[in-house]
Structure 1
Amino acid sequence: MINQQKIYLFVLYFCGFLLLWEWLRPLTDITNTGQVHYFVIFIALSLIINVLPLYSSVRTGTKIVFILYFLYNMFAGEHSSFIAWSIYLIEDVIFNIGLLFSLDVVNITDLFRTVLFFILLWIMTYLLRYWLTVRKKIFVFYSMTVIYIAVIDTFTIYNAEWAIVRIVMIGFILLGILFFQRLLEKENIRNRYSLLAQWTVPLALMILISTFIGYVSPKAGPIWPDPVPFLKSNADNVMPRNNGGVSKIGYGSDDTNLGGPFIGDDSVVFEVWTQQGRTSGPAGHYWKVETKDTYTGKGWTTSVEAVPDLDVGVGTEFRLPFDIPIETERQRRAHFEMKLLYPHIIYPYGVMGVDGDISNVKMITALEKFIPFSAENEIVSPSEYAVSYETPQYSLQELRNTTSIFYSLPNGVNEELVNEFLEGYTQLPDTLPERVRDLALELTKDHHNWYDKAKAIEAYFKNGEFTYDQEKAAVPGKNQDYVDQFLFETQVGYCDNFSTSMVTLLRAVDIPARWVKGYTSGHLIDTVADSTLFEVTNNETHSWVEVFFPSQGWVPFEPTIGFTNFSSIVDENAVPEEPTEEEPVTQPTEPTTPEPTEPETPTETNNEPETEVKTSFWETMKTFFTKNWIVLVGCFIVLLLLGVWAYWKRSKWMPYILVRKYKRKHNSDTLVHAYGDLLKQLKRIGLEREIGQTLRDYSSNIDSYFHTDEMSKLTEQYERAIYRGDNSQDNWESTSELWENLIKRTTG
């Protein structure tokens, strides 16, 4: 029987270990946690130590040794000596305890976080042992595991498809074994471990077969609408966008992994005074920051072979490469007052110079991005600066005459360099699905010049098949192309989806194009004479498209639903194709992708017309949760901890609840129920009635423990009410004081 008992315990602990392991599996996908195998090994060793017949002090010491050994392997670094590293560990722990007392949890070191995580796993293994061998109930931990994995699968890139299958199988096996064991103990059946072994095998087979049948069987589609996008839209940015989390609006420079929902942020980035011109209304500016040229299938990077940076200086006139406006108005200035400081210059189209409290400005040619420097040649984040510019106007005839890269180029141009330029800006990944190229050919087959082809692609996104939505934007799978997913599967997204897709389609028909990031015009705040003040927030972060025309330079296009192409295109025959002036509007805005190291990422606003509608209950709730999620989560955690603590200490306060419950009850069955609650309370404090023990023997043990005879008297009245049919109402009136005294004694 001893061998059967050991086998039974091994099965229980092994299943418990597998269940606890599922908590660690997502860490490598959703966090920066490394070397997870140390944590898995520690869990296994802790469970083994808990089974061995060792003194508690030996168990504790052994676990501490394992933790120190694992920490040394993970964080020793330059501390080759274990003694030197131990001193460093003690100093680090003391330092971080000080941070905890000052509530500065942000600056806690990775070493101390790992120490706390090992302690947490230690506690979890102890609780697992308690649930498996003492309480013989695992449902609470099993339910928590299912909820945890479901939430991780819903809101991150972790794919829990097989994790759920494993959890269901392991959990049902544990629940079945523990239930059968409790049943055998309750009935006081001999050879229980032999019966358990006979029960376990068919139980495991039944669960495996039913799980397999359920997995391979056809499933019905969902009946209710998916609530996940709504929940995601009210979450904060807890991880980079490429992990499938909800991104927060703002400017970031890492665009390697696009996709996923975002939430708005009306924090003001800058205010800008600009002059109105004859042909450009106050909404006629997009504010550029940088461009990118290499599409990877997931996002954007910059080509390695970059042109040397250009020193544009401060206060000197210059023109960007290929920035060739045909006609210009008088030179104008835009004065920027930054509210959020960034180490780059924001500028309009037609920029000609930069002035401000900076010593030098360089342009990173590969990004067409301006970087300000101080006198010490250090990158700075200026709070104020001015930009001079001339709004470019593009010739419609020249645009429509362009059919190749060599149109309107000077004689004697180096064809090799031109072809190299064309190859760079028509680059597409080898993994791009062929149907994307087929779509580009289909859209442009009836057009013969670059401009009309670009307009046809631009118009395609506004044909009613695509939807602008900030909450339902998908994250491409591991082997899925970002553009292909948007064009053929979801057709739901925001500016990053539309602009990246247009650039890709243009390049598929050999038209040079690039991806641009910056801000839309913003909100008009004030007007003084011919100058207007715009306020630009994080909500105005945006991405759009530029197409290269040899005689015109880089010309902007706007494929995103709800946005208007702001470029000024002039028809020399006085038949304008596009209006040269836009009425002042407040345009919707959107994000670009975030830097993984920054807490914010760009986004945009909804494309629906801004109409005054009554705020719905759900919109109010969404706004409330968005603004107060930290407080709400904190309150939930505090209440959860208080609930756990209250449940853990229920033996201390439950008697007072029971006393109040039975204080005014005088029913015929009051004594029976009160006696049953007393037995439960005695069990909570460790005075459990043994299997097969009579009530009188049990009462004698209780009286010996409390040094009284009240339990025996109460039991005598209880047995009379049960077996002799005495009036239990009268019995309760005479014995309620005995019961109350006894149950109060259990509080200690």
Structure 2
Amino acid sequence: MKEVDWLQRCVIFLTGVFLFSFLTWLSAYLLPETIQLITWVLVITCTVEMFFPFKKWGRWIIELLACFILILFILKWKIVFPHENTWAHLIEFLIQNIIRLDVLFPYLSFGLGSWLVYLIMVRWFESKWRALATILICAITLTIIDTFTFHNLWGDITLMISAVLLLLIVDHFKVLRKKSPEGWNHLKDYPATVVVPIIIFFTVVVISTIFVPENVRPLLTDPYTAWKKYLGEEPEISRYTERVDNGHIDKKERLSGYSRDDSQLGGGFEFDYSQIMSVETSYPTYFRGETRYFYNGTGWEEQDLSYHLENHELLLDQKSEALTGLEHSKINRSLLQTREIVQTISIYPNSVYSGSVLLGSYRMDSIEIIDQTERDDEILIDSIVDNSQIEINTSTPLLWLPNVGELHYIDDSGMFPQKYQVTSKVPLIDKTGLRNAPLIDREDAFWERYLQLPSNLPTRVSELAKEVVANQTNPYDQVKAIEFYLKDTFPYTNEPDESLGKSDDFVDRFLFEIQEGYCDYYSTAMVVLTRTLGIPARWVKGYTQGNRNDDLDPHYLVDRNQLGPGVYIVQNANAHSWVEIYFHGYGWIPFEPTASFSAPTLEVQEVTVTPETDENELVEVEKSLSLATIVQNLLIVLGIVVIFSVSLILLLKRRKWLYWHILKRHRVKSVNQKIIIEIERLLNYGHRRSYQNFKNQTLKETFKRWIHQNKLLEMDLQELEILFEQAKYGVRDMSDKELLLAQEKIRSIKRIMRIRI
């Protein structure tokens, strides 16, 4: 039996561990399916390289095919078959599937890139000095990333360093096997003398790390902190971190998400693509969370506790139809037409969402809790509920606040809905009716909260509002003018240049100084501009509709975000804020002022889209794709065909040799011929290991060159040469014992050849 090279298998496995730990920090920047793809590419490549004894070209072909199939599986690829077996339909079938290959581009680049890097790193770690250089560079890189970004990478750094240290141990044994075969054979007979101390060492290190007290100060200071203290300066923890009141550093604050601080708006953030929930819906909508209406000049605060709790209702943790509690009598929506939307929302178990508000579309009409789970983290209870005198318990955990349209789940046992179904009344936008809506009584004290503005708001803000709406004659057109102005004037960015801002007022800085930003900038500015015109407005935060999961679609759509019924995946990067404007007779109507965003709204004149219409629209979308896209995907198909063709040619080229080789082995009768064939196979193996042999040289001359190239082969080659001469030129029949001896010598020679000199 062929001896397994366990040292090389260890190198392959530990390289995969190292690469995975080093690439972990990309998880916050890449989509979940991309992270899943990279992980499985590493697993597949590692498994094939370790356990499939094929030649390298064969292994590479298997790995590429497996990775390509994996990409199709992760993307939930489905072939669109033709409806009829005619040439026209077959051509259309080919064009459709070629067009749909466009979605593979980013995933192919990530998958093939990870595969190539992995194979290169396996070769790279065969040198001790390259391994030491790698651990130094990568440790410094990840430490800098951990210090100056929102990533917490100490676990990954520990895993990476451990993997490289184990690689150095493996490299030591490989050198020992090369330089002292006798010592290596002795270690193989007593492996516990080496393995047990290594296991004990790493076990002690891990256990001591786990149980070290949290209040123990580090013995050494990191270079950055030491340098800052040497200069007499306070070290900056990170531009992605903020200190809270008790001095605790909260890295989550600089990530996108629902739980960001609303009272101090501004600054930049990084997109967090971790998944929050999946929503099965008859129509996609924004998912409404909480409402704010008191603007303090820097952000939004919660005020007027009595107004929030007015007409509040405590509901049972069961199917509830009681979400139609009366709002304040001033709210009038008698003219509003709505459409009923049913949504089944499933919160992911490891979701970073920790609020107490149950998300839903616009205004909830009923809710049914389907499943619950116990949260590991502390629920961030809204301060309004936290400061109230409402008694909460497990029997009445649902708190409905109709005035602000918020539904809180407050369970003193720590439970929270993991899956629930919401029925909502989504407004149908009647543009004509909104233009003719009667004006509110601005003298009524009730509207003060929705018209509130800071006393020190710069006058140029209100002057800008008047300038934008100069040509509009009714509140609706004025609001739309402000919405379009913000969308068209200011570019969207998640890293606005705050150094340009000098004004003390957040909206004033955005409109006249920074002039770029993200949703909080746009929505806050629209509320303030609208209020300066005497139009009631409030600020709302929640999530956008997310991206549709095409697994439930009969086709793999070209436009993956096309609106329609289905399952939508909402990520933390989908956290968003927008505006609601009050129109008498219609209630609170949502508006979307953020550039590059478009809220999925319904209008009174809108015709309900049937499944047949969806299919026709799909065909129209596919037909309208540009010729460049088709050519681009044709090149992908051509590349795949070329790769498979070359592979097939290489296999066919060796088919004749393989056929005669198998036939020759089956025709062998004597032991002499078997010994000769085994030695001929050794010559081919040696050629692949850079031990050359030439047709015009005898076996003795070839073996002499091999011995000169590697002195460790001398004894085995001399004995094998004697066996070859006896088998080829001798007159007697060789015995089976001599055949086994020749095979043993050949195995020994191959093991020595595999050791790099």
Q: TM-score, normalised by structure 1?
A: 0.43
